[in-house]
Chains A and B, each alone.
Chain A
C-alpha cells in the first residue's frame, strides 16, 4: 500500500467521474468496432492502391455497401437475423466456457455434431423441429462433455482436446452421413427439408421470406437463460468463481472439476443447438463432402470476445458480425468473395481487441479519477515494476521462458 493520501471513504467528486464496469465494457466494444471498421476502410484503400489500375472510388462504394446493406431492406434485416441466430448460439457456447476459464475452441465440432443429429432426427426419424433441436442439443452437449471430462479428470488442456475433436467431429459426421444413405438427395447434399420433412423446418410464423424463422428468437431466449444462470444462480456463481480463480474456488469448497464438466456440457449443448438452428432453417443442405471445418464455430470466438462473454452482449455482437457478413456480400462484384472475407475478418479481428481498449479506458479513467483508486492501482503498478526490475536486470533464463 502506497498510501500517500490516506484512504478515506468516497469523496463527492469521485461519484461524478466514476464509470461503471458495464459502461467501460460497452464503450470499449463500440470503440473497438469503430477502430475495426476504420482498419477495414484503410485496408480497402491499401488493396486499391496496390492494384494495377486503381479506382479510388471503389473503397467508398465497397465500404458504403458493407455499412448500409445490413439494414437497407426488410429482406436484408431478415438475413442478418437469420445469420445471427447460429452465430449467437456458438458465441454463447464460447462465452459461457470463457466464464469458467475454459477456451472452447471446439464449438465448431459441437456445432457440426449438433447439425448432423438435427438432420438425422429431421430426415430419418421424422421428428418435428423442436424435437430435432433437442436432439442437436444433446448431441452437441455430449460432444462438449468429452473434453470437459478430459480436462477435469486428467487435466488435459481443453484447447488441445477440442481442436482434435473438431476434426473428429467433421469426419465422424461425414462417415455417419455416408452410412445413412436415406438422408441424401444426391450423395453430396442432404435432402431438402421442405421435401423430406416440412415439420422439421423452424416455424416462420407466416412470414414468407425463406430466410425468416424463429431461430433468432430461440437463440435470444437461450442468451437470456444463460444470462440468468450466470448472474443469478449459485451454479453461475460457481462457474464464474472457477473461471476467475480455480484455486480459490477449490479452496472455498466448490467442486471445480464438476463445474468444468457441466460447463463444457452446456457449452457444447449451446453450440449443438446452433448447428440445429442453422440446418433446420430449411435453406442450406449439409454438404457431406466437406473436408474443412465449418467456420461458424470459430466465428463464435470474436462474437464472445467482443461482448466480453456477456450473454446479453453476445446478442448484440452476433447481430453485428452477421450484419458485417451480410454487408460484405453486397461488396460484390467490386470485391471478390475472398477479398470480402478478408475485409470482414480484418474488421472482426480488430474489433475483438475490445479487451485492450477497455484496459486503456480504465487506465485513462484512473488517471482522471486520481485519489483513492489510483493509489490502489499504483500498488499494483509498483508490484509490476519491481517484478520488471527483477526480470530485466537478470538474464532471461530458460525457466522463465518455459515453465511459467
Chain B
C-alpha cells in the first residue's frame, strides 16, 4: 500500500513538473503594494492604466500580490513576475521604494515604473534610480488646491481636512487644499473668517471608530465638507457624513464618487493616465525607457494631466461651480498664471533666521510651517 502511494505521489509530481516547464508569460506586470487591485486607490488606478494600454496594444499583462506586507515579499513577488516573463513591472506606491532599490540593479534587462516614490535604502541614506527605472511623483498640492478652490467656489464655507499621516504627499494635499480655499475666497471677495478649515491627521490610513466619532463631531459642529485624504480612512468620514443630512466628503487619489453619493469630488492623481503615458513611451522606444525617463523622476502636475478633478457628468456633483470654471482655473495652473506652493517645511535659512530672532530657543521650539492665509481661518489643532 505504501508503495502504491509512493508511486502515485511521484507520478503526480513528475507529471506536473513536466507541465510546468511550459507556463504562460505576461509582459506587463503590476505588483500591488499590500492591498488588492480593487482598493479604489493606487493599485486600482495603476492597474486601470496597465489594462488600458495592454488591451489597446495587445500586450499580455497580469497582476501579482505579495504574500505578506514586507519588502522581502514585494521583492519576491517582483521576481516571480519577472520569472513569468515580465518586461516591465509597474509598482504603485511608496512601499516599493526599498524593494525597487533592491531589484533594479539585479535585473537590468527589466524595466520598473515606480509610482509615488523614489528608490532608496532601508535607512533612507542612499537614493538611487538606475537607468531601467522611472519614478513618477505627483503635484498633490495642485490636486488639493483644485479641491479646495472648487469647494469654496461651490458655496461651502466650513471645510475640513483629514490626512492619513503627516507624510509629505499628504501634507502637500492638505496645504494645497488650504491654498485653494484661500484663492477662491479671495476671488469671491469674502471677508476674513468667512471660510474655516478644520485640519487633522488621523495617524492611520484606515478608518476607525474613533475617527468616525471625531467626524461626527465635526459635522455636528457645522462642517459642511471634509477632504478625506489617506487610503481607506474615507470610509469613516463617509460613514460620519451619512449620519448627517447633508454632510459632504471630498475623495482622494482616484475618482471615488462611486463610493458614496456624499462624495462631491475627488482630488485625483492621474494614475491611469500617467501609467498609460509611461507605458506608451516605454514601448515606443523599443521597450526601453527613453533617455529623459531612464533613471529619472517625473513630477506630474496639471501641465501633464498628472492631477485633476473628475469632470465626467456622473462625477460632477457641484451645484454652482461649473466644469467651465474648473477648466479655467486648471488652465491657469497649466500655464503658470496661478502657482501653488509645494512647500511643506521651513528651509534651512528660515530656521537659522528664526533661531537668530529667538535666542535661547532651539529648532524644536520653532512652530511648524503652515501656508500663509488671510481670509481662511485654519484650525490646525482641530
Q: Taking the complex as a whole, does A directly touch B, i.e. does some CB pair lie under 8 Å apart?
A: yes
- Residues of A participating in the B interface, judged by any CB pair closer than 8 Å: 27, 30-31, 34, 37, 60-61, 63-65, 67-68, 75, 79, 178, 186-189, 192, 194-195, 210-211, 283-285, 287-289, 291, 325-326, 329-330, 332-334, 336-338
Chain A residues with CB below 8 A from B205, complex form: 188, 289
Taking the closest CB of chain A, its distance from the CB of B282, in whole angstroms, is: 20
A79 & B65 in contact (Cβ 8 Å cutoff): no
B19 & A332 in contact (Cβ 8 Å cutoff): no
B122 on the A face (CB < 8 A): yes
17 contacts between A and B (CB under 8 A): A30-B5, A60-B16, A63-B16, A64-B19, A68-B13, A188-B165, A210-B71, A210-B75, A211-B72, A283-B70, A283-B72, A284-B68, A291-B206, A325-B67, A329-B80, A332-B77, A333-B81
B64 & A60 in contact (Cβ 8 Å cutoff): no
B69 on the A face (CB < 8 A): yes
B20-28, B107-115, B173-181, B332-340 - the one binding chain A:
B20-28
Q: Give me the 4 closest cross-chain CB pairs, A-B, nearest first.
A: A333-B62, A64-B16, A64-B20, A284-B70
The verdict on A333 contacting B26 (CB below 8 Å), with A210-B72, A211-B72 known, is yes
Chain A residues with CB below 8 A from B63, complex form: 332-333
B204 & A188 in contact (Cβ 8 Å cutoff): yes
B122 & A192 in contact (Cβ 8 Å cutoff): yes
Known A288-B204, A332-B80; further 6 A-B contacts with Cβ < 8 A = A27-B2, A67-B13, A188-B204, A283-B71, A284-B73, A289-B205
The verdict on A68 contacting B72 (CB below 8 Å), with A27-B2, A332-B80 known, is no
CB within 8 A of A61: which of B23, B203, B206? B23
The verdict on A187 contacting B73 (CB below 8 Å), with A289-B204, A334-B24 known, is no
The verdict on A79 contacting B16 (CB below 8 Å), with A65-B23, A284-B69, A285-B70 known, is no
CB within 8 A of A186: which of B17, B62, B165? B165
B12 on the A face (CB < 8 A): yes
Chain A residues with CB below 8 A from B17, complex form: 64, 67-68
A283 & B73 in contact (Cβ 8 Å cutoff): yes
Q: How far is the CA of A30 from the CA of B18 in the complex (A)?
A: 23
B187 on the A face (CB < 8 A): no
Chain B residues with CB below 8 A from A283, complex form: 68, 70-73
Taking the closest CB of chain B, its distance from the CB of A64, in whole angstroms, is: 3
B182-211 interface (Cβ within 8 A of A): 203-206, 208
B14-54 interface (Cβ within 8 A of A): 15-20, 23-24, 26, 29, 34, 36
Q: How far is the CA of A263 from the CA of B67 in the complex (A)?
A: 33
Taking the closest CB of chain B, its distance from the CB of A282, in whole angstroms, is: 8
Q: How far is the CA of A31 from the CA of B2 in the complex (A)?
A: 10
Q: How far is the CA of A289 from the CA of B5 in the complex (A)?
A: 46
CB within 8 A of B77: which of A31, A75, A188, A329? A329
Interface centre among A31, A329, A332 (most CB of B within 10 A): A332
The verdict on A67 contacting B16 (CB below 8 Å), with A27-B1, A192-B122, A195-B123 known, is yes
Chain B residues with CB below 8 A from A61, complex form: 19-20, 23-24
B19 & A337 in contact (Cβ 8 Å cutoff): no
B8 on the A face (CB < 8 A): yes
A337 & B70 in contact (Cβ 8 Å cutoff): no
Number of B interface residues, CB 8 Å? 45
B71-120 interface (Cβ within 8 A of A): 71-73, 75-77, 80-81, 84
Q: Contact mask B143-158 → A, CB, 8 Å, 1/0?
A: 0000000000000000
Q: How far is the CA of A211 from the CA of B65 in the complex (A)?
A: 18
The verdict on A189 contacting B8 (CB below 8 Å), with A63-B16, A64-B19 known, is no
B122 & A189 in contact (Cβ 8 Å cutoff): no
Chain A residues with CB below 8 A from B203, complex form: 178, 187
Chain A residues with CB below 8 A from B64, complex form: 332-333
Q: How far is the CA of A330 from the CA of B13 in the complex (A)?
A: 16
Q: How far is the CA of A79 from the CA of B77 in the complex (A)?
A: 12
Taking the closest CB of chain A, its distance from the CB of B70, in whole angstroms, is: 4
Q: How far is the CA of A402 from the CA of B173 in the complex (A)?
A: 61
Chain B residues with CB below 8 A from A186, complex form: 165, 167
Chain B residues with CB below 8 A from A178, complex form: 203
Q: How far is the CA of A337 from the CA of B68 in the complex (A)?
A: 11
Chain B residues with CB below 8 A from A37, complex form: 12
Taking the closest CB of chain B, its distance from the CB of A15, in whole angstroms, is: 18
Q: How far is the CA of A194 from the CA of B72 in the complex (A)?
A: 13
B366 on the A face (CB < 8 A): no
B59 on the A face (CB < 8 A): no
The verdict on A187 contacting B19 (CB below 8 Å), with A283-B72, A284-B69, A329-B77 known, is no
A79 & B68 in contact (Cβ 8 Å cutoff): no
Q: How far is the CA of A84 from the CA of B52 in the complex (A)?
A: 40
B5 & A60 in contact (Cβ 8 Å cutoff): no
Chain B residues with CB below 8 A from A63, complex form: 16
Chain A residues with CB below 8 A from B356, complex form: none
B331 on the A face (CB < 8 A): no
Interface centre among A63, A192, A289 (most CB of B within 10 A): A289
Chain B residues with CB below 8 A from A336, complex form: 65
Chain A residues with CB below 8 A from B73, complex form: 283-284
B220 on the A face (CB < 8 A): no
A332 & B69 in contact (Cβ 8 Å cutoff): no
Chain A residues with CB below 8 A from B12, complex form: 34, 37, 67
Chain B residues with CB below 8 A from A288, complex form: 204
Taking the closest CB of chain A, its distance from the CB of B148, in whole angstroms, is: 25
Chain A residues with CB below 8 A from B15, complex form: 64
B65 & A337 in contact (Cβ 8 Å cutoff): yes
Q: How far is the CA of A376 from the CA of B72 in the complex (A)?
A: 57
B351 on the A face (CB < 8 A): no
Taking the closest CB of chain B, its distance from the CB of A246, in whole angstroms, is: 36
The verdict on A285 contacting B5 (CB below 8 Å), with A210-B75, A333-B62 known, is no
Q: How far is the CA of A287 from the CA of B232 in the complex (A)?
A: 14
Chain A residues with CB below 8 A from B325, complex form: none
CB within 8 A of A285: which of B8, B69, B77? B69
Taking the closest CB of chain B, its distance from the CB of A62, in whole angstroms, is: 10
B72 & A284 in contact (Cβ 8 Å cutoff): yes
Chain B residues with CB below 8 A from A330, complex form: 80
A333 & B20 in contact (Cβ 8 Å cutoff): no
Chain A residues with CB below 8 A from B204, complex form: 187-188, 288-289
B122 & A195 in contact (Cβ 8 Å cutoff): yes
B9 on the A face (CB < 8 A): yes
Q: How far is the CA of A130 from the CA of B88 in the complex (A)?
A: 42
Chain A, Cβ-Cβ closest to B30 = A333
Q: How far is the CA of A68 from the CA of B13 in the complex (A)?
A: 7
Q: How far is the CA of A31 from the CA of B9 in the complex (A)?
A: 10
CB within 8 A of B20: which of A31, A68, A188, A329? A68
Chain A residues with CB below 8 A from B16, complex form: 60, 63-64, 67-68
Q: How far is the CA of A30 from the CA of B8 in the complex (A)?
A: 11
